[in-house]
A and B are shown apart, each in its own frame.
Chain A
Amino acid sequence: MDNTIGAAGGAATGVAATDMAAGDKSRRLKDKIKVLKKLYPHTRSVLLPALYAAQELYGWLGEDALEAVSRLTGVPSAEVKGVVTFYSLYKTRPMGRNVIYLCTNVACFIMGANTLEEFLEKTYGLSHGETTADGRFSLVIMECIGACDKAPAMLVNDDCHFNLTIDNIKAILDNYK
């Protein structure tokens, strides 16, 4: 049994993946879903991990990706859309190469997260859900990311960054091209 399946998906979208031919993507998604099906007693349950797999292959979850997931899992396409829009962290629109997930919930808020939000707006012209013109950053304003002792905190793609200040956030973001 393959136990690394839980890791299917992830933030990396990769240019190569999105350049793949449509048929290719669909075939690879089919293979992934086949493996995922072994983890659950009912096919329907593969939907969440299948959406992550599709997101990785297609770059984001547009019509074609959702159609493919619906076809390969047998879940009606309206239901797939219902599920994908329920959750906050699926990419339902094209996103930048790097996604900043900035926590602004109370523990980060009282430590100054809203100042960082203003900083991102002023420096990169980013507000919640937006992407910079050069496609380098997208911003997602988060509820608690469970790093309250090191507030304010953010994730950039899969990396955690803690104890943010106006002085260190720019240097951190400079590492993401």
Chain B
Amino acid sequence: MKNVILRNIENPSSHRIEEYIKAGGYFAIEHALNEMTPRDIIDDIKKSGLRGRGGAGFLTGTKWQFASLDPKFPKYIVCNADEGEPGTFKDRVILERNPHQLIEGMVIAAYALQSVRGYIYVRAEYPQAEKILNEAIKEAYEKGFLGNDIMSKHFRFHLSVHRGAGAYICGEETALINSLEGRRGEPRIKPPFPVNAGAWAKPTIVNNVETFANIPYIIETSPKAYSFLGTKDSPGTKLFCVSGAVNNPGVYELAFGTPLREIIYDHCGGIRGGRALKGVIPGGLSTSILTPDKIDCPMDFASLAKHGSMLGSGAIIVLDDTMCIVKIYERAMRFFEHESCGKCTPCREGTGWMRTILGRIEDGMADMEDLATLEDVALNVAGKTFCPLGDGAAHVLLSAMKHYRGEFEYHVKYKKCEVTDPSHRWGHLSMGELD
């Protein structure tokens, strides 16, 4: 399989501009500026069928076209590197190991939209990535791939890093824009969409790191060569980041449509300790859990939707049979409660109540009525919020309760856990000397 996004990854100096150029990098900019009009580029991206890698899977070419057709200037190019979806660590690899491919993708986007200013919004939790990225931007300025006269083509584009400050919600594009503007990172109501009124009320495209990293390949080969990879509905390759109970966790670049079973058992070497698979969270914590009977599902946008979940960010968290679903979702709900921005009441209040009830179930203090209440609260959060955070929190809980109903009921009935006893220590750690 061809590496599109992680090309040159085996080179330990892949983050340096000389190495990137040696591997064919920055050729796409040259090609774009010399031989293509902005419109050609947008057409090619549309033809390639590239879909956004941040989670929603929106067609990148269409997004660019919307922004391009808006008569307002200046236009802004924003890279969403606020990789906060629990279980996701794919963008970190691009930022730290292949930052120039991201920069090249952004410069091409800027040319396509005739934008002169871009920002990379990096989460504060990635200090290393930020350092490497700043160094890469400096190198790109020195080589003339950024600045006032890029490749002597009278095209100017400036790029800088904007560091977040620890808020999951800023991965949502309108919240990210508020944060970029120096505000609390609360989502905005859509419409207007950022392509018409984004940063500073100007047309703005916000794309994920991985999305931008696909652009150079499409331009230097062809839309057809790109859509040859992957499936019809989801062309190209995807970075899957696998964590949890597998032997070889890590980031894998694979064609869209690779079955989940193949990822877990072939690429990741199967379940740790030869244990049984309990379930898989296929696209980050905010996507619904899949039971073991569904792991032949091809990993692409359409197939996962058909199986009642989402591709999300491609973050696969694998659970084995020693792990308690109630405890995991109690922890997950603590996350959603903490990260709810507080703007919409159903999410702000609902996540807190769901966490409280889950805690009660886990602690053996709940009765059957609590299960009904929990579902009721979840159903009153879903679909009643500005942004998908509340939806995600409600839906992942509802699907866990549906597929692992017996485990929830066991906790209520017997006031203890079916799979772990109270002295159980999670993971492979032992408290040993402490006890």
Does A39 have its Cβ within 8 Å of any Cβ on chain B?
yes
Contacts of A87 in B (CB 8 A): 164-167, 185
Contact A106 B332 (CB under 8 A): yes
Does A23 have its Cβ within 8 Å of any Cβ on chain B?
no
- Spot the interface stretch: B4-12, B52-60, B133-141: B133-141
CB distance from B175 to the nearest CB of A (A): 10
Q: How many residues in B have their beta carbons less than 8 Å from beta carbons of A?
A: 76
Report if A39-B241 is in contact (Cβ < 8 Å); known contacts: A3-B134, A166-B432.
no
Contact B241 A149 (CB under 8 A): yes
Does B200 have its Cβ within 8 Å of any Cβ on chain A?
yes
Contacts of B200 in A (CB 8 A): 41-42, 45
Nearest-neighbor residue (CB-CB) of A166 within chain B? B429
Report if A142-B165 is in contact (Cβ < 8 Å); known contacts: A107-B244, A149-B251, A166-B432.
no
Does A47 have its Cβ within 8 Å of any Cβ on chain B?
yes
Does A5 have its Cβ within 8 Å of any Cβ on chain B?
yes
The 8 Å CB contact of A75, one of B74, B128, B182, is B182
Contacts of A39 in B (CB 8 A): 160
Q: How many residues in A have their beta carbons less than 8 Å from beta carbons of B?
A: 61
- Spot the interface stretch: B31-39, B78-86, B259-267, B356-364: B78-86
Contact A7 B86 (CB under 8 A): no
User: Which of B74, B124, B241 has the most chain A CB atoms closer than 10 A to its own CB?
Assistant: B124
Does A133 have its Cβ within 8 Å of any Cβ on chain B?
no
Does B253 have its Cβ within 8 Å of any Cβ on chain A?
no
Contacts of A83 in B (CB 8 A): 182-184
Report if A3-B138 is in contact (Cβ < 8 Å); known contacts: A143-B84, A148-B89.
yes
Does A51 have its Cβ within 8 Å of any Cβ on chain B?
yes
CA of A39 to CA of B181 in the docked complex: distance in angstroms? 11
Interface digits, B320-331 against A, CB 8 Å rule (1 contact, 0 not)? 000100001001
List 24 A–B pairs whose Cβ atoms lie within 8 Å, in order of A's numbering.
Answer: A6-B133, A41-B117, A45-B180, A48-B182, A49-B162, A49-B163, A86-B167, A87-B164, A89-B124, A101-B125, A106-B328, A107-B244, A111-B427, A112-B425, A113-B427, A143-B86, A144-B84, A144-B125, A145-B125, A146-B123, A149-B251, A158-B127, A166-B429, A166-B430
- List the 7 closest A-B pairs by CB distance, nearest first: A112-B427, A6-B161, A89-B166, A47-B182, A148-B243, A87-B165, A88-B166
